[in-house]
Protein backbone atom coordinates (compact mmCIF):
# COMPACT_ATOMS: atom_id res chain seq x y z
CA UNK A 1 0.00 0.00 0.00
CA UNK A 2 1.47 3.35 -0.96
CA UNK A 3 1.70 6.33 1.36
CA UNK A 4 -0.48 8.19 -1.13
CA UNK A 5 -3.41 5.85 -0.43
CA UNK A 6 -3.21 6.71 3.29
CA UNK A 7 -3.53 10.49 2.84
CA UNK A 8 -7.27 10.46 3.50
CA UNK A 9 -8.28 10.88 7.11
CA UNK A 10 -9.53 7.66 8.66
CA UNK A 11 -12.37 7.68 11.14
CA UNK A 12 -11.95 5.03 13.83
CA UNK A 13 -15.40 3.54 14.22
CA UNK A 14 -17.19 0.44 15.38
CA UNK A 15 -20.02 -0.11 12.90
CA UNK A 16 -21.94 -3.19 11.90
CA UNK A 17 -22.42 -3.76 8.19
CA UNK A 18 -22.90 -6.51 5.65
CA UNK A 19 -20.33 -7.51 3.05
CA UNK A 20 -21.95 -8.79 -0.14
CA UNK A 21 -19.93 -10.93 -2.54
CA UNK A 22 -20.62 -13.41 -5.34
CA UNK A 23 -24.17 -14.26 -4.27
CA UNK A 24 -23.39 -14.45 -0.54
CA UNK A 25 -23.27 -12.00 2.33
CA UNK A 26 -21.60 -11.97 5.72
CA UNK A 27 -21.97 -9.65 8.70
CA UNK A 28 -18.85 -7.56 9.35
CA UNK A 29 -17.62 -4.85 11.67
CA UNK A 30 -16.13 -1.69 10.21
CA UNK A 31 -13.15 -0.67 12.37
CA UNK A 32 -12.09 2.40 10.41
CA UNK A 33 -13.34 4.13 7.30
CA UNK A 34 -12.18 6.86 4.93
CA UNK A 35 -13.53 8.28 1.68
CA UNK A 36 -11.60 5.62 -0.26
CA UNK A 37 -11.69 2.50 1.89
CA UNK A 38 -12.34 0.69 5.13
CA UNK A 39 -10.83 -1.80 7.54
CA UNK A 40 -13.33 -4.55 8.30
CA UNK A 41 -13.32 -7.77 10.28
CA UNK A 42 -15.54 -10.79 10.42
CA UNK A 43 -15.74 -14.44 9.52
CA UNK A 44 -15.85 -15.78 5.97
CA UNK A 45 -14.15 -12.81 4.31
CA UNK A 46 -13.22 -13.19 0.63
CA UNK A 47 -9.68 -13.28 -0.74
CA UNK A 48 -7.66 -10.31 -1.96
CA UNK A 49 -8.97 -8.97 -5.28
CA UNK A 50 -12.58 -10.08 -4.78
CA UNK A 51 -15.28 -7.63 -5.88
CA UNK A 52 -17.61 -6.79 -3.00
CA UNK A 53 -20.22 -4.34 -1.80
CA UNK A 54 -20.32 -2.98 1.75
CA UNK A 55 -23.86 -2.27 2.98
CA UNK A 56 -24.99 -0.39 6.06
CA UNK A 57 -28.68 0.39 6.19
CA UNK A 58 -29.53 2.11 2.91
CA UNK A 59 -25.86 2.90 2.15
CA UNK A 60 -23.80 0.82 -0.24
CA UNK A 61 -20.20 1.14 -1.39
CA UNK A 62 -18.78 -1.08 -4.13
CA UNK A 63 -15.13 -2.00 -4.15
CA UNK A 64 -12.59 -4.77 -3.87
CA UNK A 65 -10.60 -6.49 -1.16
CA UNK A 66 -7.19 -4.75 -1.18
CA UNK A 67 -5.64 -7.16 1.31
CA UNK A 68 -6.81 -9.92 3.62
CA UNK A 69 -5.26 -11.49 6.69
CA UNK A 70 -6.96 -13.78 9.18
CA UNK A 71 -10.27 -12.28 10.25
CA UNK A 72 -9.64 -8.81 8.82
CA UNK A 73 -9.27 -7.14 5.46
CA UNK A 74 -8.84 -3.82 3.76
CA UNK A 75 -11.54 -2.68 1.37
CA UNK A 76 -10.80 -0.20 -1.43
CA UNK A 77 -13.91 1.59 -2.69
CA UNK A 78 -14.53 2.08 -6.42
CA UNK A 79 -15.69 5.66 -5.75
CA UNK A 80 -15.31 8.10 -2.86
CA UNK A 81 -17.96 7.87 -0.14
CA UNK A 82 -19.39 10.43 2.28
CA UNK A 83 -17.86 9.28 5.57
CA UNK A 84 -20.29 11.38 7.63
CA UNK A 85 -23.23 9.45 6.15
CA UNK A 86 -21.59 6.14 7.02
CA UNK A 87 -20.73 7.13 10.60
CA UNK A 88 -24.07 8.78 11.39
CA UNK A 89 -26.27 6.89 13.80
CA UNK A 90 -28.59 4.61 11.88
CA UNK A 91 -32.26 5.14 12.62
CA UNK A 92 -34.81 2.82 11.15
CA UNK A 93 -38.56 2.65 10.79
CA UNK A 94 -38.88 -0.21 13.27
CA UNK A 95 -37.11 1.56 16.14
CA UNK A 96 -40.32 2.10 18.12
CA UNK A 97 -41.21 -1.60 17.96
CA UNK A 98 -37.66 -2.52 18.96
CA UNK A 99 -37.88 -0.15 21.93
CA UNK A 100 -41.20 -1.73 22.94
CA UNK A 101 -39.71 -5.24 22.73
CA UNK A 102 -36.73 -4.21 24.86
CA UNK A 103 -39.09 -2.67 27.43
CA UNK A 104 -41.04 -5.95 27.59
CA UNK A 105 -37.84 -7.91 28.12
CA UNK A 106 -36.74 -5.59 30.92
CA UNK A 107 -40.04 -5.85 32.82
CA UNK A 108 -39.91 -8.05 35.90
CA UNK A 109 -40.77 -11.63 34.99
CA UNK A 110 -43.68 -13.49 36.55
CA UNK A 111 -42.82 -15.36 39.74
CA UNK A 112 -43.17 -18.79 38.06
CA UNK A 113 -40.78 -17.80 35.27
CA UNK A 114 -38.21 -16.63 37.81
CA UNK A 115 -38.56 -19.84 39.81
CA UNK A 116 -37.84 -21.95 36.70
CA UNK A 117 -34.82 -19.90 35.61
CA UNK A 118 -31.44 -21.59 36.04
CA UNK A 119 -29.38 -20.44 38.99
CA UNK A 120 -26.59 -18.01 38.06
CA UNK A 121 -23.10 -19.52 37.98
CA UNK A 122 -20.22 -18.09 39.92
CA UNK A 123 -17.88 -17.47 37.00
CA UNK A 124 -14.56 -15.76 36.67
CA UNK A 125 -14.37 -12.45 34.81
CA UNK A 126 -12.41 -14.25 32.07
CA UNK A 127 -15.16 -16.84 31.50
CA UNK A 128 -17.85 -14.13 31.54
CA UNK A 129 -15.80 -12.18 28.98
CA UNK A 130 -15.49 -15.28 26.79
CA UNK A 131 -19.24 -16.02 27.06
CA UNK A 132 -20.11 -12.42 26.17
CA UNK A 133 -17.70 -12.46 23.21
CA UNK A 134 -19.23 -15.69 21.91
CA UNK A 135 -22.75 -14.29 22.29
CA UNK A 136 -21.73 -11.18 20.32
CA UNK A 137 -20.31 -13.35 17.54
CA UNK A 138 -23.50 -15.45 17.35
CA UNK A 139 -25.66 -12.32 17.17
CA UNK A 140 -23.37 -10.70 14.59
CA UNK A 141 -23.79 -13.80 12.42
CA UNK A 142 -27.52 -13.09 12.12
CA UNK A 143 -27.92 -10.34 9.46
CA UNK A 144 -31.59 -9.84 10.30
CA UNK A 145 -30.67 -8.95 13.89
CA UNK A 146 -27.74 -6.76 12.82
CA UNK A 147 -30.03 -4.67 10.62
CA UNK A 148 -32.74 -4.26 13.26
CA UNK A 149 -30.58 -3.85 16.37
CA UNK A 150 -27.47 -2.19 14.92
CA UNK A 151 -26.89 0.44 17.62
CA UNK A 152 -27.66 -1.92 20.49
CA UNK A 153 -25.32 -4.55 19.05
CA UNK A 154 -22.57 -1.96 18.67
CA UNK A 155 -22.89 -1.04 22.34
CA UNK A 156 -22.92 -4.71 23.39
CA UNK A 157 -19.87 -5.53 21.27
CA UNK A 158 -18.01 -2.46 22.59
CA UNK A 159 -18.71 -3.64 26.16
CA UNK A 160 -17.44 -7.11 25.26
CA UNK A 161 -14.25 -5.61 23.82
CA UNK A 162 -13.69 -3.46 26.92
CA UNK A 163 -14.20 -6.45 29.21
CA UNK A 164 -11.84 -8.59 27.11
CA UNK A 165 -9.19 -5.84 27.20
CA UNK A 166 -9.56 -5.56 30.99
CA UNK A 167 -9.09 -9.32 31.33
CA UNK A 168 -5.96 -9.19 29.14
CA UNK A 169 -4.55 -6.23 31.12
CA UNK A 170 -5.14 -8.08 34.39
CA UNK A 171 -3.24 -11.14 33.03
CA UNK A 172 -0.28 -9.00 32.03
Q: What is the pLDDT of residues 44-58, one digit of tens each?
A: 899 999 999 999 988
Q: Which domain holds residue 44?
A: 3-87
Return the CA Rg of the chain. 19
How many domains does the chain fold into? 2
Mind listing the pLDDT tens digit for each residue in 85-107? 998 865 555 555 555 555 565 56
3-state secondary structure of 149: coil
Would you give the distance in Å from CA 139 to the centre of its chain? 9
Q: What is the pTM of this model?
A: 0.53
Same domain, 123 and 167: yes
Same domain, 82 and 99: no
Residues forming a β-bridge with 55: 18, 60
The domain boundary, picked from 53, 68, 87, lies at 87
Contact 41, 71 (CB under 8 A): yes
Q: What DSSP character marks residue 153? A: H
The domain boundary, picked from 87, 115, 149, lies at 87
Say what the pLDDT of residue 7 is.
59
Contact 62, 102 (CB under 8 A): no
The domain boundary, picked from 87, 115, 138, lies at 87
Say what the pLDDT of residue 112 is.
43
Same domain, 144 and 122: yes
The CATH number assigned to the domain holding 67 equals: 2.40.10.220
Non-local CB neighbours of 80 within 8 Å, separated by 6+ positions: 35, 36
Say what the pLDDT of residue 147 is.
66
| Segment-wise mean pLDDT, segments of 10 residues, the chain, 172 residues | 56 87 89 94 92 92 94 95 85 55 57 46 70 75 70 73 75 74
Amino acid sequence: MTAESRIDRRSNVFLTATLVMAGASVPVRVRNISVRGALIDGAGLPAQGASVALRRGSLIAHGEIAWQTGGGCGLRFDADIDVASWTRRVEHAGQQSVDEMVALIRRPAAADAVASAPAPRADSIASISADLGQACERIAARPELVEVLAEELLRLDAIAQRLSNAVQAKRN
